[in-house]
Amino acid sequence: MAWLVVRLAISVSLLYTASAVFEDQVGKFDWRQQFIGKVRFALFDTHSQASKKLLVATDKNVFASLNSRTGDLFWRHVDKTGPEGHIDVLLMYGQDAVVVVGNGRLLRSWETTVGGLKWETVLDTGSFQAATLVGVQDYVKHVAVLKKSAISLHDLSSGSQIWVENLPDSDTVQYQTIYSGGNGLVFVLGVVPNSHIVIVEYKIEDGEIMNKKSVEAAWMSSLENSCTVISSGILLCADQITQSLYTLPLQSAEQKEMRQIHLQTLDLEVASGFQPVLTSTRPNPAQPPLSEFFLQLSPDHHILLQLKDGLIAPLRDFNPSYLAAFATSGERTVAAVMSPKNDTACSINLFSADTGRRHLDTTIIYHMDPNGGKPNRLYVHAFLKKDDSVGYRVMVQTEDHTLTFLQQPGRVVWMREEALADVVTMEMVDLPFTGTQAELEGEFGKKADGLLPMVLKRLSSQFILLQAWLAHLWKLFYDARKPRSSVKNEVTIDILSRDEFNLQKMMVMVTASGKLFGIDSKSGTILWKQYLENIQPNSVFKLIVQRTTAHFPHPPQCTLLIKDKDTGLGSLYVFNPIFGKKSQISVPALPRPVLQTLLLPVIDQDYAKVLLLIDDQYKVTAFPSTKNVLQQLQDTASSIFFYLVDSSQGKLSGFRLRKDLSTELIWEVVIPAEVQKIVAVKGKRANEHVHSQGRVMGDRSVLYKYLNPNLLAVITESTDTHQERSFVGIFLIDGVTGRIVHEAVQRKARGPVHFVHSENWVVYVYWNSKFRRNEFSVLELFEGAELYNSTVFSSLDRPHPPQVLQQSYIFPAPISTLEATLTEKGITSRHLLVGLPSGNILSLPKMFLDPRRPEVVSEQSREENLIPYAPEMPIREEWFINYNQTVSRVRGIYTAPSGLESTCLVVAYGLDIYQTRVFPSKQFDVLKDDYDYVLISSVLFGLFFATMISKRLAEVKLLNRAWR
Amino acid sequence: MKRLLDVYVALQALFALSWCFSDAEPGPVAGSPSNGDRFKIEGRAIVPGVKTQDWISTARILVEGEEYVGFLKTDGSFAVNDVPSGSYVVEIVSPSFRFDPVRVDITSKGKMRSRLVNYIKTSEVIRQPYPLQIRSSGPHTYFMKRETWGWTDFLMNPMVMMMVLPLLIIVLLPKVVNTNDPEMRKEMEQSMNMLNPNPELPDVSEFMTKLFSKGSSKSSGGNKGSRSVAPKRR
């Protein structure tokens, strides 16, 4: 019964806090883009001519089917992150795609039209080497998987294992390749580096070893890349040191060593230091490969060769050429070669594989993006035209993970920016004013200079507004006359300007590959992109907005700090976030590893905020470092503090800046690293506003919040991971004085800990290992009934410790990430945005995470609108702000205030990107979008006419009475 | 005197940032345990009245968050391989259909049982069938209903009814009932007397006005007069 009361109370309170999406709002102000990651394997479905399928497997452990006409996803399967979901190989036969996952852990077969699993089998342990389809008499029935020490054969239709055999001498021989020519035998090829090659023959029916031989090959270190099987089972290898090709028939018993063919005899030479790459093609997995192959001699030199009667003859030399690939349609095999045309474009041509003859009219021009990377993979889709000639389309992959699908004569059919699958950090930047808007703003900014000029200025600005409105009306009229299809809402940088409520912003996204994007938040259009070359793969990025768009005519300025994770050395990249152009400002050199960055509210004469960079000798570099800035820094040095974290030693230390830009240590907190390690440290967001200083209680007194802007929340986890002894700790430390304001420990708990630190509260989530559930805990800090110093907050003068309230709740779902909404003035109630592994984003009212929720309802708590305490947090589907637009592997949620107090902009990123707006307290400052204009105007008109008519009637009546 | 008005602290250490990155992706499990003590969670998902090919490509099976991931077969059945013994919450996530999670316990010998998820009483066992049979409870209800405006809503509003009904009575009654008919008038007068059975009983309001306005008895007298006049006029 008590439960029922609580439930009822909750549901009543929901009436006030619910912030849900209405069905007609779908797609109105939100959008989602789905990504797959860097493509590792891509196969076109050549099963039928009309098929549009393109199967891809990526480094993000995603296996997907793309529509090759539009680039959209048919379906996508997202596996576990990390090595356990890693896709080792993708094979395709007919409607089935066979995938080996997790370093040979699982073998899966997918039904590619529906996107469902056909079967899945667990493979024996052992690291994966290779897999191949095995055919017998033109028909593929099996798949063979080679592990480090075993080979197994599986049935293609059911996945059942037919046989598994241990490989002989697997401790000395490195087995690397597997080959089957469709004649009932499987060859396993291994190598003993710099000694010999081992070839083992297995019978398909029962796995019996038919033959085993070893061939001298002292020059060989690895079979991968430099070797391939061509023609009817002839192993072909290339070696750079001896400048030779080697051939060996796999099946013949008499040949005891590999036949050497000097490249000199073919007038060829491998570039020094380049490992030659051999590429062969196999149109039908049940038949042996073709006898033609590509040999890559240097990064931009390919040659098409043919093996005929034991002799190798060059068919065509492609010099220069970047990329080469084979493709087959029906019985015809072609080769596509990309060669440079000029500085900005490449041309792709088609050649017949068996003769090397060029097909006429098959040129595709590929324009290289000057802000992108170089092309590094070429995937060709060949098809037979009606006149029996071969047509083709190509997909070009570049270093920055972009996929471009082209057709003749160079039309870009679609493009996917797969770098966005790995967004590391982002910022939202206000759009600039247009010229007229800036002028209007300028009117209010300037000092008054007499009555008459002010009036004139006022009139002129009104005139400008009128002009703009007329132009807008004209445009509307003009667009209305055109057919709807031709009116396209194309967004370009030139027409971008701030809208009425500042709801449209520029999203600056930094991806792990080093590519920067500028995306329009309203439509999701990519407005600019910039690929930064030479970024180490494990770099850490930090994006800082130094100057916003508010300082016209100075352009906005963003600074990206790129830090190598291993060396700690950093570099700065300064750019304009609206146009993506690199700034010409000189950047300080950073010779030492950067430990900490600090954005000061001090501005230089160009209105750029000053960025301080602290290196490992605690020296401070200021950027920009003009005389003006240094002067200001000297004046304010005594009040600039910063902190450093050393997680390996569990040390937090606070420093103060001196006038000569050196630093002095003022405090140090040591959290013993052998017991617990510091996992994360977070302060409050700099752009956060708190509207009310306190909370009004039921008895009309005020409970003041403890609003310390220097407070740091430090999360620790125990080093002991045993279920009974593990714990999660939280410390609240003042960043200026180093005083520990509060500490709390959650026993029998472990990470990963997600937390939000804002206003006067910290919310954190941990895993309760005793009860196996996620729990939310909220800490709120209050000064009490009186404020100590209500005018200004100083960390150095705080005699009274704050009152700390804490409450915990059960959260009935796992959690991926956590963030809080943010609004312009902080009047709107706060919601927590919880990213769930299912891809939904839950908007949870902060009201539910209030440590003052009473266990027993009293008159006062009802007055305060407190929800009675319930141990389990509710999850309602109406609170999912992204309805069915789920965001896979959500890794971060970014919130930004808009010009409207009620509205908060939200971007969730992970594998996908989702942008929306949330209204935590509903839209209280604008008319709702379902506002009934028709009703209100019809009522008004109705009343108007009613008065008219009744007036007339009254007149008539009066007249009649007068006559009587 | 030192003024410490502006105290600035850097709000985010760089390393903290880098940890966040590594936190997001759970690291590989240290040392791969042998295949012997790894088990398989099997089951079937059913959406009544919907063909499997319409929804299986967007659905996944999540075991304990994203710790183990499984996919659905074309017939709606699933198997999550390589799961060590322990207790897990198995959930089918689909953007279109709702499935209730189930807790699956695997003993170290590989015995399986499934039960309802109860986060408050975690040891409570309400058995569910194993292999799992998870039936969808319908499509997700992501959207709130708009408050639609209709004439019936307007008319059924109690405030409106309170306003409209007396209005109707005032306007329509005199038209329906012919007041000029003397018989009718007589009848009405009788019924009025019926309503006020004892005319000698003092009226409460009259009593109150008398009580509070003793000084101005004239006005009360005037009141009386008007009251006595009123029935006559009718």
Q: Smallest CA–CA separation between A963 and chain B, in Å?
A: 25
Block residue for tokens 């797959």? A36
Structure token digits, residue A198: 């081992």
- Whether A22 sits inside 8 A of B79 (CB atoms) is no
- Looking at residue A444, what is its pLDDT? 59
Q: What is the rounded average pLDDT for all residues in chain A?
A: 87
**A105, A565, A883 member nearest B143 (Cβ):** A883
Most confident of A46-50, A73-77, A614-618: A73-77
- Looking at residue B22, what is its pLDDT? 34
Percentage above 90 pLDDT, chain A: 36
- Whether B66 sits inside 8 A of A80 (CB atoms) is yes
Strands in A532-662 per DSSP E = 539-547, 557-564, 570-575, 594-603, 609-615, 620-623, 641-646, 651-657
Q: Smallest CA–CA separation between A740 and chain B, in Å?
A: 16
Q: Smallest CA–CA separation between B54 and chain A, in Å?
A: 8
Within A842-913, residue ranges assigned H as helices are 859-863
Q: Smallest CA–CA separation between B170 and chain A, in Å?
A: 19
Q: How crowded is residue A524: how many other Cβ atoms within 10 Å of its Cβ?
A: 16
Contact call for residues A706 and A684 (beta carbons, < 8 A) = no
Q: Smallest CA–CA separation between A755 and chain B, in Å?
A: 11
Q: For residue A397, what pLDDT band results from cuts at 50, 70 and 90?
A: very high
Q: Is the pLDDT of residue A686 over 80?
A: yes
Asked if B223 reaches chain A (Cβ–Cβ under 8 Å), the answer is no
- Whether A683 sits inside 8 A of B11 (CB atoms) is yes
Contact call for residues A855 and A866 (beta carbons, < 8 A) = no
Contacts with B234 (C-beta within 8 Å, 6 or more apart), sequence order: B185, B188, B189, B192
What share of residues in chain A are helix, strand, coil (percent, to 5)? 15, 45, 40
**B66, B95, B143 member nearest A837 (Cβ):** B66
A733 or A453: which carries more pLDDT confidence?
Answer: A733
Alpha carbon distance A206, A162 (integer Å):
8
- Section A364-385 average pLDDT: 88
Contacts with A331 (C-beta within 8 Å, 6 or more apart), sequence order: none
- Section A326-354 average pLDDT: 88
Long-range CB contacts (within 8 A, 24+) of A117-120: A117/B71, A117/B72, A117/B73, A117/B74, A117/B78, A118/A159, A118/B73, A118/B74, A119/A158, A119/A159, A119/B73, A120/A159, A120/B71, A120/B79, A120/B81
- Looking at residue B234, what is its pLDDT? 40
Q: Which of B1, B14, B121 to mutate to test the interface with A (most CBs of A within 10 A)?
A: B14
- Whether B21 sits inside 8 A of A424 (CB atoms) is yes
pLDDT in tens, A825-852: 989 999 999 999 999 999 999 999 999 9
| φ/ψ of residue B19, rounded to 5 | -65, -40
Contact call for residues A402 and A372 (beta carbons, < 8 A) = yes
CB contacts of A685 in chain B (<8 Å) are 11
Question: Which stretch of A17-26, A79-88, A929-938 has the lowest confidence by average pLDDT?
Answer: A17-26
**A115, A686, A772 member nearest B87 (Cβ):** A772
Closest by Cα among A192, A787, A121, A322 to B82: A121
pTM for this model (two decimals): 0.84
**A115, A645, A736 member nearest B7 (Cβ):** A736
Query: CA-based angle A395:A396:A402, to the nearest 5?
Result: 110
Contact call for residues A662 and A620 (beta carbons, < 8 A) = yes
CB contacts of B10 in chain A (<8 Å) are 596-599, 642-643, 683
- Whether B65 sits inside 8 A of A814 (CB atoms) is yes
A219 or A16: which carries more pLDDT confidence?
Answer: A219
What is the chain B residue with the closest CA to A686? B11
The neighbouring-strand residues paired with B27 are none
Q: For residue A490, what pLDDT band results from cuts at 50, 70 and 90?
A: low
- Whether B144 sits inside 8 A of A18 (CB atoms) is yes
- Whether B10 sits inside 8 A of A643 (CB atoms) is yes
| Cα–Cα distances in angstroms (integers) from residue A228 to residues A238, A246, A281, A482, B26, in the given order | 9, 11, 10, 59, 37
Q: Is the pLDDT of residue A652 over 70?
A: yes
In one-letter notation, the amino acid at residue A12 is V
For A127-158, the three-class secondary structure string (H helix, E strand, C coil) is: CEEEEEEEEECCEEEEEEEEECCEEEEEECCC
Q: For residue A446, what pLDDT band results from cuts at 50, 70 and 90?
A: low
Beta-carbon contacts below 8 Å between A and B: 220
Alpha carbon distance B141, B97 (integer Å):
9
Q: For residue B162, what pLDDT band results from cuts at 50, 70 and 90?
A: confident
- Section A553-574 average pLDDT: 87
Closest by Cα among B132, B63, B60, B133 to B96: B60
- Whether A709 sits inside 8 A of B15 (CB atoms) is no
Give the SS3 label for residue B19. helix
- Section A455-482 average pLDDT: 84
CB contacts of A601 in chain B (<8 Å) are 6, 8
A568 or A752: which carries more pLDDT confidence?
Answer: A752
CB contacts of B13 in chain A (<8 Å) are 595-596, 643-645, 681
In one-letter notation, the amino acid at residue B138 is G
- Whether B144 sits inside 8 A of A812 (CB atoms) is no
CB contacts of B110 in chain A (<8 Å) are none
Q: For residue A915, what pLDDT band results from cuts at 50, 70 and 90?
A: very high
Q: Smallest CA–CA separation between A884 and chain B, in Å?
A: 5
Burial class of residue B200, CB neighbours in 10 A (0-12, 13-18, 19+) = exposed
- Whether A125 sits inside 8 A of B11 (CB atoms) is no
Q: What is the largest CA-CA distance in chain B?
A: 108
Contact call for residues B127 and B115 (beta carbons, < 8 A) = yes
Q: For residue A478, what pLDDT band results from cuts at 50, 70 and 90?
A: confident
- Looking at residue A11, what is its pLDDT? 44
- Whether A117 sits inside 8 A of B71 (CB atoms) is yes
What is the chain A residue with the closest CA to B68? A80
pLDDT in tens, A101-143: 988 889 999 988 888 899 999 988 888 988 888 888 778 888 9
Q: What is the rounded average pLDDT for all residues in chain B?
A: 73
Q: Which residues 5-64 of chain B have a CB within 8 Å of chain A? A: 5-21, 23-29, 32, 34-35, 38, 40, 52-53, 56-58, 60, 62, 64
Q: Which of B2, B3, B5, B15 to mutate to test the interface with A (most CBs of A within 10 A)?
A: B15
Give the SS3 label for residue B224. helix
Burial class of residue A925, CB neighbours in 10 A (0-12, 13-18, 19+) = middle
CA B9 to chain centre: 44
Q: Smallest CA–CA separation between A492 and chain B, in Å?
A: 33
Q: Smallest CA–CA separation between A714 and chain B, in Å?
A: 10
Block residue for tokens 């979901």? A85
- Whether A639 sits inside 8 A of B72 (CB atoms) is no
Alpha carbon distance A57, A131 (integer Å):
15
Alpha carbon distance A845, B149 (integer Å):
28
Q: Is the pLDDT of residue A353 over 60?
A: yes
What is the chain B residue with the closest CA to A838? B93
- Looking at residue A252, what is its pLDDT? 72
pLDDT in tens, A269-312: 888 888 888 888 888 887 888 888 998 888 888 999 888 877 88
CB contacts of B69 in chain A (<8 Å) are 78-80, 85
Q: Is the pLDDT of residue A578 over 60?
A: yes
Straight-line distance from the first to the last Cα atom of chain B, in angstroms, rounded to the nearest whole number:
89
- Whether A773 sits inside 8 A of B122 (CB atoms) is yes
The neighbouring-strand residues paired with A365 are A347
- For A21, the enclosing helix (H) or strand (E) is strand A21-22
Burial class of residue A364, CB neighbours in 10 A (0-12, 13-18, 19+) = buried
What sign for the dihedral angle of Cα B52, B53, B54, B56? positive
Most confident of A748-762, B11-25, B28-42, B187-201: A748-762
B7 or B94: which carries more pLDDT confidence?
Answer: B94
CB contacts of A24 in chain B (<8 Å) are 146
Alpha carbon distance B69, B158 (integer Å):
55
Q: Smallest CA–CA separation between A866 and chain B, in Å?
A: 22
- Looking at residue B171, what is its pLDDT? 86
Q: Smallest CA–CA separation between A22 and chain B, in Å?
A: 5
Q: Is the pLDDT of residue B161 over 60?
A: yes
Contact call for residues B59 and B72 (beta carbons, < 8 A) = yes
- Section A511-527 average pLDDT: 91
Block residue for tokens 């010779």? A591
Orientation of helix A435-445 relative to helix A451-481, angle to 10°: 160
A729 or A590: which carries more pLDDT confidence?
Answer: A729
Q: Is the pLDDT of residue B214 over 70?
A: no
Q: Smallest CA–CA separation between A281 and chain B, in Å?
A: 32
Orientation of helix B217-233 relative to helix B204-212, angle to 10°: 160
Alpha carbon distance A158, A522 (integer Å):
48
- Whether A886 sits inside 8 A of B82 (CB atoms) is no
- Whether A80 sits inside 8 A of B4 (CB atoms) is no
Q: Smallest CA–CA separation between B173 and chain A, in Å?
A: 22
CB contacts of B79 in chain A (<8 Å) are 120
- Looking at residue B60, what is its pLDDT? 92
Q: Is the pLDDT of residue B200 over 70?
A: no
Contacts with B131 (C-beta within 8 Å, 6 or more apart), sequence order: B42, B43, B44
CB contacts of A599 in chain B (<8 Å) are 10
- Looking at residue A40, what is its pLDDT? 93
